[in-house]
Amino acid sequence: MHEWIWTYEGYDPARERLREALCTLGNGYFATRGAAPECTADDTHYPGTYAAGCYNRLTSIVAGRQVENEDMVNLPNWLPLRFRLYRLAGDAAWFTPDSSALAEHRQSLDLRAGTLERTMRYVAEDGRALTVRQLRLVHMADPHLAVLRTQFTAEGWSGDIEVEAALDGGVTNSGVARYRELNGSHLVHVNAGDGEPDTMWLRCRTTTSDIRIGMAARTVADEPTDEERARTAHEPLRAVQFLRLTLPGGVTRTVDKTVALHTSRDAAISDPLHAAVGRVDRAPGFEALLESHRAAWRQLWRRGELDVPGEAGSILRLHLFHVLQTLSPHTADLDVGVPARGLHGEAYRGHIFWDELFVLPYLNLHFPEVSRALLMYRYRRLEQARVLARDAGHIGAMYPWQSGSDGREETQELHLNPRSGRWLPDHSRLQHHVGSAIAYNVWQYCEASGDAEFLHTKGAEMLTQIARFWAGFAQYDKQLERYRIRGVVGPDEYHEAYPGSCLPGLDDNAYTNVTAVWVLARALEVVRELPEPRRRELYERIGLDRGELARWEEVSRRMYVPFHDGVISQFHGYGDLEELDWDGLRARHGDIRRLDRVLEAENDTVNRYQASKQADVLMLGYLFSPAELSGLFRRLGHELDEETWHRTVDYYLKRTSHGSTLSGLVHGWVLARVRREDAWTYVREALEGDIADLQGGTTEEGIHLGAMAGTLDLVQRGLTGMETRGGALWFDPVHSPQLAEYGFSVRYHGHWGVRVRMRPGELHIGVPASDGGPIDVRLPDRTVSVEPGGSRLLMLPDDGHRPSP
């Protein structure tokens, strides 16, 4: 591994799909998996292309039930390009990595340039060797373009080869084995045709969302081709073009396939087909496209500057690469959310969960315009969230656990346990805490960017509607003399019900209750501090009155948070559940991250045990600084001292199976302040989650975007303790022996490129020259002001270790 280049030597069919996911190229508008253009989808290969926000809804019958699912659609495949030796009589076999002709194969992902290179050597049966070098990009400056350059060199022989380039509309959504029983045929009305010389096109539409898709490809060789040597032969579902090239021995011939993609969701087009054909006709040649693409990436890397040494640094760069390919400045022009698995595969059907909670805090400090667009995705679906609340008999906004095109609840009703083969009811939609994650992101975005306009208008509306939901959902319990939130599921989605209960949901998930309190407190703060006439507008718009604010105040001070054995309970009654025999289960099954599946296959249920999928209570230590967390508990009349928090951390650490990539991240973050010696094990797990495919074969179905962005933020905010709060930049660094020295730059309020550098015992801050004001930097023991153009070296007390709440 080179600092910027990830190389995969050799061809390994068993890991090909994983590599495809990790070598995906994209630009925020669309992405294509790093699949071999010589191959179509089969058990080894899965060439998927996905456009952000392009969904379609289909009905399927599973387990005798009719279910509806909305999927991010696998679009026509633009990659196909295969080649073989030309023969006058009879056809030679096409070269593919799966053929015995493959002698060498190497794949390199160049993060700096945003390109994927493949070099291959094929040796035909007659001993003739062909070297092939292939470079591809999905254009970062023009988000509708992609290019595939293929170069052929005959080694020690001269002769012709035949090249077939295609656009393949015969694709389905079939990339996830668990979903194979579901209907995956989203594309209809596929037709193909020719445009200008060298150009072919394909169009189709999605069955129910009626999104029209236009794709065009211009395929040219660097030797003159006449009609006999270049022809099209379209098939019902594929546009196909053939080229015959003469390869003089040792001379390299180049074929460039330039592709344009448009959908009817695009702005400023008449129809997607004409837009795609026009765009590809106008596109410059490969060299010019490569140069403008590299220039766009240079800008992105500047805005995401991160200097972390060693292996961790290389992995973080890969993570940033994939975050930016999913959510780039182009995203700012789209109506899309944060797909949990990137635009890299079909897991979770491209849906949007609470994972943006792990993504926006990073983007806020580098690409605030992208964060804002992602919040606008939620704002546009606020009305739908209100409908969801109303239909369930509540007030305010109840955002769905899984969201897609229009913001309705997209969580599946049944999920398959591949271990038992059983389809089971899925109650994860009871994770109403997603609303608090949205409110948290609104607040964080506004604090980091200083976007008061957003906070005072759309942000305030979302915050207050989510607060209203919590205040209405919480019910007063006379016995406890507290408000309770009942019948929900927390971040640990292994627990969906009390043992033996036929009703889904649990009571008083501590994470849900405390974050609801936080939302109520912030909403009150925003409403009270709104300048006129904004306050009046908000009151009128959402019909707010003083009585309602009084209720928010009351609920936010009297919410119930359960405790047992001197620790915060994950939910009311968690402490009464049985202890799990972790060692016994591990001895029997090995990897038990997916404890839910392991136990269900044994006709048992994880609901019976004190065993969590992922950080749940501990999420509180991830979202809130120790000071803020103890402040929240104090608001509720509890003293959350350091000892209680440490006991709580230890308690759940022993009882968590880490069945989500988010878990290692959160544990690494929290332990960095509580049990430093153990933190790195979890940080490593978060760093390696995708590159080593730690969740047992799930990365091939799409990367884990939350964990990827979260690791970037772990360096940026987790280790530095950086907060953007009350108009100041706060730091409270914690020393990590494994990552003692690092630096990055952030965009804070109007300042671009504020540099932060950590060394043991030192924090260095540099503010670039600008006509903005100074930045207030706060450490636990002092405040300093850094003028634009100035910098400060701040010595840290001890090793920067600070106590927990």
Distance between CA atoms of 253 and 726, rounded to whole angstroms?
Answer: 61
To the question of whether residue 470 is assigned a binding role by annotation, the answer is no
CB of 433 to ligand BGC, least distance (A): 10
Give yes or no for residue 657 binding ligand BGC (CB under 6 A): no
Instruction: Give one DSSP letter per residue of 722-751, joined into a string.
Output: -EEETTEEE------GGG--EEEEEEETTE
Indicate the residue among 329 and 491 with the shorter CB distance to ligand BGC. Answer: 491
Span interacting with ligand BGC, options 132-140, 293-301, 349-357, 727-735, rule CB under 6 A: 349-357
Look at strands 475-477 and 782-786 and give their pairing: unpaired
Residue 402: CB minimum distance to ligand BGC, A? 8
Asked if 38 touches ligand BGC (CB under 6 A), the answer is no
- Work out whether 355 is an interface residue with ligand BGC (CB under 6 A): yes
Number of residues binding to ligand BGC, judged by CB under 6 A? 12
Write down the least CB distance from residue 491 to ligand BGC, Å: 6
3 noted as active-site residue:
no
Angstrom distance (rounded) from CA 553 to CA 547: 10
Contact with ligand BGC (CB under 6 A): which of 353, 624, 633, 730? 353
Is 706 a residue that touches ligand BGC (CB under 6 A)? yes
Min dist. Cβ of residue 613 to ligand BGC (A): 6
The one segment of 161-169, 350-358, 719-727, 785-793 that binds ligand BGC by CB under 6 A: 350-358
Q: From start to end of 172-251, where are the E strands? A: 187-194, 199-206, 212-221, 230-232, 238-247
d(CA 280, CA 290): 15
Name the residue nearer to ligand BGC (CB basis): 377 or 633.
377
Q: Which is nearer to ligand BGC, 204 or 666 (CB)?
A: 666
Question: How far apart are CB 354 and ligand BGC at their closest, in Å?
Answer: 5
Asked if 664 touches ligand BGC (CB under 6 A), the answer is no
Interface mask toward ligand BGC for 574-613; x: CB under 6 A: ---------------------------------------x
- Coil, strand or helix: which one is 142? coil
By CB under 6 A, tell whether 660 contacts ligand BGC: yes
582 is in an annotated binding site: no
Whether the CA torsion 707, 708, 710, 711 is positive or negative: it is positive
Query: Does residue 354 touch ligand BGC according to CB under 6 A?
Result: yes
Q: Which amino acid is at 546?
A: R
Strand residue runs (E) in 74-158: 81-85, 102-110, 115-123, 129-138, 145-155
20 binds ligand BGC (CB under 6 A): no
Between 347 and 777, CB nearer to ligand BGC: 347
Centroid of chain to Cα 77: 22
For the bound state, the minimum distance from the C-beta of residue 351 to ligand BGC, rounded and expressed in Å, comes to: 8
Minimum distance from residue 386 beta carbon to ligand BGC (Å): 23
Of 161, 662, 683, 687, which lies in the binding site for ligand BGC, with binding defined by CB under 6 A? 662
Q: Which is nearer to ligand BGC, 8 or 348 (CB)?
A: 348
Q: Is 613 annotated as a binding residue?
A: yes
Return the structure tokens found at 666.
């959160």
Q: Is 354 annotated as a binding residue?
A: yes
On the CB side of 231, CA atoms within 13 Å amount to: 6
Binding status of residue 496 toward ligand BGC by CB under 6 A: no
The binder of ligand BGC chosen from 80, 491, 621, 702 (CB under 6 A): 491
* Residue 493 found at the interface with ligand BGC (CB under 6 A): yes
Single out the catalytic residue among 461, 493, 700, 701. Answer: 493
Query: CB 704 → ligand BGC: shortest distance, Å?
Result: 6
Stretch of 106-114, 220-228, 351-359, 382-390 lying at the interface with ligand BGC (CB under 6 A): 351-359
Query: Do the Cβ atoms of 242 and 230 come closer than 8 Å?
Result: yes
Q: For residues 520 and 552, is the Cβ–Cβ distance under 8 A? A: yes
Instruction: Provide the minimum distance between the beta carbon of 177 and ligand BGC in the complex, in angstroms, as a whole number.
Output: 17
The rounded distance, in Å, linking the Cα atoms of 587 and 583 is: 6
Q: Which is closer to ligand BGC, CB of 597 or CB of 751? A: 597
For residue 725, how many other CB atoms are within 10 A of its CB? 16
Site string for ligand BGC, 329-348 (x = CB under 6 A): -----------x-------x
| Interface with ligand BGC (CB under 6 A), residue from 107, 513, 515, 614 | 614
Nearer to ligand BGC by C-beta: 45 or 415? 415
Judged by CB under 6 A, does residue 78 bind ligand BGC? Answer: no
User: Is the Cα dihedral 259, 265, 267, 270 positive or negative?
Assistant: positive
Closer residue to ligand BGC (CB): 322 or 613: 613
DSSP per residue over 260-318, as a string? Answer: EEEETT-SS-S-HHHHHHHHHHH---HHHHHHHHHHHHHHHHHHT-EE--HHHHHHHHH
DSSP string, 504-549: -BBS--HHHHHHHHHHHHHHHHHHHHPPTTHHHHHHHHHT--HHHH
Distance CA 784, CA 776 (A): 6
CB of 665 to ligand BGC, least distance (A): 11
> Amino acid identity, residue 711?
T
As a whole number of angstroms, the distance between CA 369 and CA 330 comes to: 10
92 vs 125: CA distance, rounded Å: 10
What distance in Å separates the CA atoms of residue 583 and residue 378, rounded to the nearest whole number? 43
User: Rounded distance, CA 213 to CA 133, Å?
Assistant: 30
End-to-end distance of the chain based on CA atoms, in angstroms? 41
Minimum CB distance to ligand BGC smaller for 18 or for 538: 18
Choose between 403 and 644: whose C-beta lies nearer to ligand BGC.
Answer: 403
Which residues are part of a known binding site? 354-355, 613-614
Which residues are part of a known binding site for substrate? 354-355, 613-614
Binding site for ligand BGC (CB under 6 A): 340, 348, 353-355, 491, 493, 613-614, 660, 662, 706
Active-site residue list? 493
